[in-house]
Amino acid sequence: MAELRHPPGTFDVMPAESGPWQSVVTTFAGVVASAGYGLILTPTFEDIGVFQRIGESTDVVRKEMYDFLDKGQRHVALRPEQTASVVRAFIQHRPTTPWKAWYAGSQFRFERPQAGRYREFHQVGIEAFGSADPDLDVEVVALGWEFYRAMGIHRMELLVNSLGDAACRPSYRQLLVDYLNSRHDELCDEHRDRIADNPLRVLDCKRPECRSVTASAPRQVDHLCADCAAHFARVTEGLAALSIPFTMQPTLVRGLDYYTRTTFEYAGTALESAQNALGGGGRYDGLVAAMGGPDTPAVGFALGVERILLALTAEAVTPRPVALLDAFVVDFSGGAAARDLTARLRAAGLRVDRSFDARSPKAQFKAADRSGARLALIVGPDEAAAGTVALKDLQNVGEQVSVPSELVVGEVTRRLI
Ligand code: AMP
């Protein structure tokens, strides 16, 4: 039989490697909880309509969605991103605003797998509903910045732009279409015929042909209405006030169509440019209404977990390793001591493991060493008869000491401090 392997574009994170993953989520949870964001869980799949509202012309919806008919003939899709699901939940449950939520979870996109680009990947993100205040944009951008710093990422650039709103985007869009049409022949194969379809996406194209055309394209920031200009000025002023350095990037449009006004991206400067987008987001004041909810402004971001780990490696930052175990019980007196001691230590909140199958002392000591535990707790026939446990530090060489069995929990706790 052929060897079973994970599907292309997916991966396993084995227990020995999962420490940094856990630290991403716990660090993120700590940072965003400090600003009042609460955890939200939504289904991994939704009715396809939820995601189609993201924008029929985005690649994520047009080409990359894992959609299928389920056994009840419902057309569903695995989520390609989570903002649409959070908006759907907001509309369904109508929490009072302002409403702030954070999430962590898998997303699915049928992309060509490559370094830093997967078919199932993970994002952490926040969404804040119910306020159009530009200071909220600043809060959101600052939380992402603070989180990367807390993870130890320093080689990073914050790119910001404003995409205008329903008042000023349409006229800018027309200006852009006219300009792109005038240089139609110079664009790359993919975008030459998509100008009318989604002209903003041409600005996002990284191919040199498109880049040389878009370098002198009209810029939305130069064509903002008075309200959008004031909003954007307050955002940049707020970032400066918080000493968060940023670069204006007039071609930053992001891949999803629902953004209005502020858009931003965190770029990892230690990474190759093909996967240097660590995360990004923006305001999406029209999405809740477009999905059938009450007119509600909102802003948020999504950060790629795999990209964070790539950036940490590229910057040679090792997140503090998470020791999996405090103690390992080695029992060659029959097994009852291992059973009882393990239960007692675990009940006291300690992380403890043991061997099974009455293995030889040698095999058990080897397992204890391999487990990465700080301490070995040893019970041979002598200790069993005397009601003691021998305690050995596996990380620092030292004397083995004998402790009365009833004092083991206290002694282990004292040594771990
Ligand atoms: P988006 O939802 O497209 O705005 O993406 C937000 C972030 O998710 C990006 O900046 C990346 O860090 C990450 N990301 C997007 N697509 C992928 C993918 N296929 N594989 C890994 N990370 C991804």
Structural domain boundaries in the chain: 15-168+224-314, 327-416
Residues with CB under 6 A from ligand 1: 81, 109, 111, 116-118, 121, 123, 254-255, 277-280, 302, 304, 306-307
| Helix (H/G/I), strand (E/B), else coil: 289 | helix
Asked if omega into 297 is within 30° of 0 (cis), the reply is no
**What is the whole-number distance in angstroms between the Cα of residue 33 and the centre of ligand 1?**
23
Give the Cα-Cα-Cα angle 195, 117, 200 (nearest 5 degrees). 20
Burial string for 134-170 (b: 16+ CB within 10 Å, else e) reads: bebbbbbbbbbbbbbeebbbeebebbbbbbbbeebbe
Name the nearest CA neighbour of 305 among 1, 6, 24: 24
User: In terms of CATH architecture, what is 327-416?
Assistant: 3-Layer(aba) Sandwich (3.40)
Tens of each residue's pLDDT in the chain, 417 residues: 889 999 999 999 998 889 899 999 999 999 999 999 999 999 999 999 999 988 777 788 888 999 999 999 999 999 999 999 999 999 999 999 999 999 999 999 999 999 999 999 999 999 999 999 999 999 999 999 999 999 999 999 999 999 999 999 999 999 999 999 999 899 998 888 878 878 888 998 888 999 999 999 999 999 999 999 999 999 999 999 999 999 999 999 876 678 899 999 999 999 988 889 999 999 999 999 999 999 999 999 999 999 999 999 999 887 655 567 999 999 999 999 999 999 999 999 999 999 999 999 999 999 999 998 999 999 999 999 999 999 999 988 778 999 999 999 999 999 988
Distance CA 51, CA 138 (A): 27
**What is the whole-number distance in angstroms between the Cα of residue 397 and the centre of ligand 1?**
46
**What is the whole-number distance in angstroms between the Cα of residue 304 and the centre of ligand 1?**
5
Same fold across 15-168+224-314 and 327-416: no
Q: Which secondary-structure segment (H or E) carries 325? A: none
**What is the whole-number distance in angstroms between the Cα of residue 184 and the centre of ligand 1?**
29
Taking domain 15-168+224-314, whether its CATH number is 3.50.50.60 is answered by: no
**What is the whole-number distance in angstroms between the Cα of residue 101 and the centre of ligand 1?**
19
Structure-block tokens of residue 260: 């209005």
Q: Where are the alpha helices (DSSP H) in 157-222?
A: 169-182, 189-192, 199-204, 208-214
Residue nearest to atom 8 of ligand 1 (CA): 304
CB within 8 A of 53, min separation 6: which ones? 84, 287, 290, 291
Question: Phi and psi dihedrals of 76, rounded to 5?
Answer: -120, 165
Distance CA 4, CA 196 (A): 45
Threshold 0.85, pTM exceeds: yes
Residue by residue, DSSP assigns 34-79 as TTT-EE----SEEEHHHHHTT-TTSHHHHT---EEE-TT--EEEE-
Q: What pLDDT is attached to residue 321?
A: 58
**For a pocket test of ligand 1, which of 306, 308, 310, 312 has the largest count of ligand atoms closer than 8 A to its C-beta?**
306
Distance CA 417, CA 415 (A): 6
Residue nearest to atom 17 of ligand 1 (CA): 117
Atom nearest to 254 CA in ligand 1: 4
Name the nearest CA neighbour of 53 among 293, 251, 263: 293
**What is the whole-number distance in angstroms between the Cα of residue 111 and the centre of ligand 1?**
11
Q: What pLDDT is attached to residue 217?
A: 94
